[in-house]
Amino acid sequence: MQMATDSLEKKVLGVLEEVHDPEINTVSIIDLGMVEEVNVQDYVVNIKILPTFLGCPALELIKENIKKAVISIDEVKEVNVEFINHPPWTSDRISEKGRMGLKAFGIAPPPRLMDSDGSWHVDCPFCGSTYVTMDNIFGPTACRSILYCKSCKNPFEAMKPISTLM
């Protein structure tokens, strides 16, 4: 039974790799570090998800997509998805694969380290140049900022750094 549970958990994690951010189809919710817990008991799957931003309108959509993906596994009888606030989601939860996926979409991954004065810098996701300017710390979605690359003359977006040190 334990082995069956373990392998089902693996299957669940496998399908969650295919649940993407509704607006960024190159990164999954696993890559983004949003999946805090997957619990399988008697073919009932309970999943705990960390919201990135509290006002993010994509959350309900993500929840539905998770349910659809997991219930498609034959053995699964029931799926419950819960949003939890603890621990808080922070941008350092994004995996290396997630960072590559963001770049592939034209979004610079969040800076890993902030300087002691709170400043941070990102490179252009297209040409890698550091010669970029910030147009707007706020962007088209809560989690992104708008920047401009002076080298390749492309506007681009960057994931905001989000840390509990703020």
Partner 1 sequence: MTELNLAANSENKDAVVSLLFQLADDDFLYSFKGSEWLGLAPHIEEDVASSSISQDSMGHAAMYYQLLEELGLGSADSLAHLRPAKERKNSILVERPNGEGYYMEVPKYDWAYAVVRNYFYTAAKKIKIESLKNSSYQPLAEVAVKVNIELYYHLLHWKTWFVQLLSSTDEAKQRMQAAIAQVMKDFGDVFSLGTDGKKIVELGLIEEERTLVQRWQEQMKAVFESLNLEIPEIPAVPEANGRNFEHTKDLETAIATLSEVYRIDTAASW
Which residues of this chain interact with partner 1, rule CB under 8 A? 51, 53-57, 85-86, 88-90, 135-140, 142, 146, 160, 162-164, 166
Here the tokens at position 10 are: 């693996």
Q: How far is the CB of 91 from partner 1 (least distance, A)?
A: 10
**Residue 45 φ/ψ region, left for φ over 0, alpha for ψ in the -120 to 50 degree band, beta for the rest:** beta
Nearer to partner 1, 72 or 136 (CB): 136
Could you give the CA distance from residue 4 to residue 128 in angstroms, rounded to a whole number? 46
Nearer to partner 1, 56 or 152 (CB): 56
Nearer to partner 1, 106 or 139 (CB): 139
For the chain, the first-to-last Cα distance in angstroms comes to 45
Could you give the CA distance from residue 143 to residue 158 in angstroms, rounded to a whole number? 8
Q: How far is the CB of 16 from partner 1 (least distance, A)?
A: 22
The two beta strands, 78-83 and 107-108, are: unpaired
Nearer to partner 1, 127 or 142 (CB): 142
Q: How far is the CB of 69 from partner 1 (least distance, A)?
A: 22
